[in-house]
Amino acid sequence: MKDLAHALTAANAAVFSSLGLDAKHAEVRRSDRPDLGEFQCNGALAAAKSAGKKPPEIAQSVAGAWNATELASTPTIAGPGFLNFKVTPQALANRAQVIADDARAGASVVEHPRRVVVDYGGPNVAKGMHVGHLRASIIGESVRRIYRFRGDQVWGDAHFGDWGFQMGLVITALEDELGGFDDRAKLDARLQSLTLEQLEAIYPAYAAKVKGGDIETRDRARKATAALQGGSALHREIWKAMRDVSMAAQKRDFASLGVDFDLWLGESDADPLIPDMVKDLDAKGLLEEDQGARIVRVAGPGETKKKKLEDGTVVEVESPDPLLVVSSEGSAMYGTTDLATIVQRVRDQKPDLILYVVDQRQADHFEQVYRAAAKAGYIAREQLEHVGFGTMNGSDGKPFKTRAGGVLKLNDLIGQAEEKARERLKENEIDADFSKEEFEDVAHKVAIAAIKFADLSNFRGTSYIFDLDRFMSFEGKTGPYLLYQAVRIKSILRKAEEQGVAPGPITVEHEAERALTLALDAFDGALTAAYDKKAPHFLAEHAHTLAQAFSGFFANCPILPSEGAVRASRLALAGAALKQLTLTLDLLGIDVPERM
RNA sequence: GCGCCCAUAGCUCAAUUGGAUAGAGCAUCCGCCUUCUAAGCGGACGGUUGCAGGUUCGAGUCCUGCUGGGCGCGCCA
C-alpha cells in the first residue's frame, strides 16, 4: 500500500533513470510551498553535480519526460530547479477510496517484523504513582501500540521497582515503628492493615533521613536489603505484603490512565538470575574488586574524563564509569537488576530489540548497562535503546510540584482533569440527556485525552510545562478538540444511518475535499516517522492536521444536506476520516466517546 | 571540574537524509450559527531561529568558539 509520495517517487525515479540520472535523487515528498504544488522533488539540485549539468536543465528534462499523467500533471519548475507536482483528481479519489476501504486506513506494515520488548511505566513499590510516572507510562504505552500496529511482536513490561535499597529502607522503617519484628502477632496485624498511603509516607521520610546523613539507619537499611535479597523468610514476607498492597493500587491507576502491560514483571523477578549471572561475569573475567564492591569496566580504550575529587585534585578516570554489580554489602544494585533483566528477556522473549522508555536523566546509567550486556555477550549493543524523555515541569519551569510543594498523585491529577471536563460539559449543556454513567465516562475520556495529547504532542526528548487549564481549554490544539471532531463525525454517520443514506464511490472535487484527502494520505508517513524515531508526537501532529482538514471539509462541504453521488462520496470521506482519526488516537492511547 | 541535552513569534510547542517565503495552537484584532455538534471555520497581526564565525549552490538543522539554562558524574532508582 503506497501513499502518494511513494507513488510519485516511483514514477519520478523511472523518469530519472530513463534520463540517465541516479534514481536516488528522485524522492518526492509533501511540499513546503502549497502555493506552488502539493508535492515537491529537490533532486535536480543534488543530481546536477554528478550529471555535470545545471539544476534547471535537469528539472526541465524531467518535466519534459514526465509520463505518469494519470497520477500528476506535468511538474512545474520553480526557483533553482525545484519540481512541483499537483496530483490529479482521479489519483486523489483513488487514494481516498483505498483508505476508505482499508481497515488500516492506509497504514503500511514493516517488511521484517521484529520481536520487541518495551520497558516503561516503572512504578516504585514504595512510592505510589505520581505525575513523575506519567510520561513514562503515556509515551511507553503509545510506543507499544505503534510498534504492534506496524506488525512487530511486542511485549510491554511494567518493570516494577520492587527490589532495591528502597525496600530495605521501608522494612527498616517498619522495624522502628514496631520496635523490632519479635512480636509475630503484632507484625501480622501491622502487615494486614498496611496501606499504600502509609508506604508513601514512610519512604520519603526515611529516604530524607538517610540523605541527611543518618549513617546508622543507612547501614541497617543496606543490611535489610541484603537480607531480603539473601532469602530471609521474614524479610521476604514483609516485602511481599508491601508489594501486594502497592501493586493493587498501581493496577487501578494504570487502568484509569488507559495504560496496560503484557508482562507485569518487576526487578524482583530478575533476582533469581543474579547469582548465575555474577558467576558468569566472573568466569568471563569481567568482574573486578574495587573498594569492597565488584564492578564491570565498560569504558573502551582511550575513553576517559577528568574528575574532581573531594579534596580538589583533578584526576583522569575512565568514562563511562564502571557498572557496580555487587555492593560492598553483597546486595544487587539497580544496574545488576537491569543487567539480569536483559538476561531474563533474552531467555524468555528472545527480543531483537529492547526499548527503555525512561527519563533522559538515566542515559548514563543505561549506557553502562548496555555496554556491560554487550561485553558479556548477552545481546548486541544495537539491540538496546534508551528512549529518553524530558521532565514535566510546573509553570515555573521546574519539575512539577503541587502548591504545597509535594508530589501530585496520579489519581488526584486525573480527578482534577475530570472535574474540569465536567464543568465544560455542563457549560455546553451537553449533560442534559446523558445518564450519570455516560456523563462520567465522557468526562473521564475527555480528561485522559487532554492529559495524554498534551504530553504526546511534544517531542518526548524535550521537557514541557504542565498547564491543566491550557490542556483542558475550550479552544486549540488539545485532546478535547480532537475528540470533538471525531464525535461530530460519529453524529453525522448516525444521522445518515437513520436517514438510510449510504456511502458511495469517492470523488474529489472541492478544495476542502482535496485537502482532506491529502491529510488522510499523510498518515503512513507520520506513522513510520513515529515508529522509526520512537516519537509519538508525529502521530499527535497528524491527528491535529487531520482533524483540522476534516473541520474545513465539514464547514465547506455539506454532507447530509447535499444529494446523490456527491452526498454518498462525502459520507464515505467522512467515514474514512473518522476511521483514521480513531486509529491515530488509539495509537496515542486515547479513547473516543460516542458523543460529547 | 568533566560530560550530555536544550535555546525558534509576547506565551506553549513543531519543522522527515541540510532545501524555496521557518509552521501550528494560545493571546490580540476582524468576519461567520434559519444547513449535518460554533469545544468550530475563515482572515489579520506577530521572527536577525541566544551571540560570533566556519563548511556550500543552499544552514533552525552540520563544525568551532562564546553566553544563558537544565541534567548527570559507583555502593538511591
- Please indicate, yes or no, whether residues A297 and A344 belong to a single structural domain of this protein: yes
User: pLDDT tens across A233-246, in order?
Assistant: 999 999 999 999 99
Please tell me the predicted confidence (pLDDT) of residue A402: 74
- Please indicate, yes or no, whether residues A219 and A286 belong to a single structural domain of this protein: no
- Please indicate, yes or no, whether residues A414 and A553 belong to a single structural domain of this protein: yes
How remote is the C-alpha of A586 from its chain's centroid? 12
Task: Specify if A507 maps to a domain.
Answer: yes
> CA-to-CA distance for A498 and A500, rounded, in angstroms?
5
Indicate if CB(A477) is under 7 A from strand B.
Answer: yes
- Please indicate, yes or no, whether residues A525 and A557 belong to a single structural domain of this protein: yes
Find, among A323, A328, A317, A309, the residue nearest to A364 by Cα. Answer: A323
> CA-to-CA distance for A310 and A31, rounded, in angstroms?
57
Task: Specify if A403 maps to a domain.
Answer: no
State which residues between 267 and 296 of chain A bring their CB within 7 Å of strand B: 267, 290-293, 295
Task: Specify if A41 maps to a domain.
Answer: yes
Q: What CATH number should be reported for the domain holding residue A328?
A: 3.40.50.620
Classify the complex by whether its ipTM is higher than 0.90, answering yes or no: yes
Choose one of A201, A226, A257: the last residue of a domain. A257
User: pLDDT tens across A113-145, in order?
Assistant: 999 999 998 888 888 788 878 999 999 999 999
Nucleotide with minimal C1' distance from the CA of A25 is B17
- Please indicate, yes or no, whether residues A513 and A569 belong to a single structural domain of this protein: yes
Indicate if CB(A121) is under 7 A from strand B.
Answer: no
The gap between A407 CA and B51 C1' (Å) is 38
- Please indicate, yes or no, whether residues A457 and A548 belong to a single structural domain of this protein: yes
Nucleotide with minimal C1' distance from the CA of A494 is B36
The gap between A465 CA and B55 C1' (Å) is 36
Q: Region of A101 please: left (phi>0), alpha (psi -120 to 50) or beta.
A: alpha
Please tell me the predicted confidence (pLDDT) of residue A445: 97
Contacts of A500 (CB under 8 A, 6+ apart): none
- Please indicate, yes or no, whether residues A144 and A290 belong to a single structural domain of this protein: yes
**Residue type (1 letter), A153:** Q
The gap between A540 CA and B66 C1' (Å) is 37
Contact between residue A559 and residue A518 where contact means Cβ atoms under 8 Å apart: no
Q: What CATH number should be reported for the domain holding residue A46?
A: 3.30.1360.70
Please tell me the predicted confidence (pLDDT) of residue A187: 95
> CA-to-CA distance for A159 and A154, rounded, in angstroms?
15
> CA-to-CA distance for A57 and A65, rounded, in angstroms?
12
Please tell me the predicted confidence (pLDDT) of residue A426: 87
Task: Specify if A334 maps to a domain.
Answer: yes
Please tell me the predicted confidence (pLDDT) of residue A308: 65
Task: Specify if A284 maps to a domain.
Answer: yes
How remote is the C-alpha of A170 from its chain's centroid? 32
Choose one of A368, A393, A418: the last residue of a domain. A393
The gap between A247 CA and B26 C1' (Å) is 40
How remote is the C-alpha of A392 from its chain's centroid? 14
Indicate if CB(A327) is under 7 A from strand B.
Answer: yes
Bases in strand B with any atom closer than 7 Å to a protein CB: 1-6, 12-17, 19-21, 23-27, 35-42, 57, 70-77
- Please indicate, yes or no, whether residues A239 and A299 belong to a single structural domain of this protein: no
Q: Where are the alpha helices (DSSP H) in A351-404?
A: 363-375
Nucleotide with minimal C1' distance from the CA of A43 is B19
Give me the residues of chain A with pLDDT under 50, please: none
Task: Specify if A596 maps to a domain.
Answer: no
Indicate if CB(A509) is under 7 A from strand B.
Answer: no
**Range of the structural domain that residue A70 is part of:** 4-87
The gap between A27 CA and B63 C1' (Å) is 28
- Please indicate, yes or no, whether residues A582 and A465 belong to a single structural domain of this protein: yes
Task: Specify if A154 maps to a domain.
Answer: yes
If one counts the domains in chain A, the total is: 4
- Please indicate, yes or no, whether residues A239 and A310 belong to a single structural domain of this protein: no
Contact between residue A178 and residue A193 where contact means Cβ atoms under 8 Å apart: no
- Please indicate, yes or no, whether residues A476 and A375 belong to a single structural domain of this protein: no
- Please indicate, yes or no, whether residues A22 and A76 belong to a single structural domain of this protein: yes
Indicate if CB(A476) is under 7 A from strand B.
Answer: yes
Look at the block and give the residue holding cell 484527502: A517
Task: Specify if A360 maps to a domain.
Answer: yes
Q: What CATH number should be reported for the domain holding residue A456?
A: 1.10.730.10
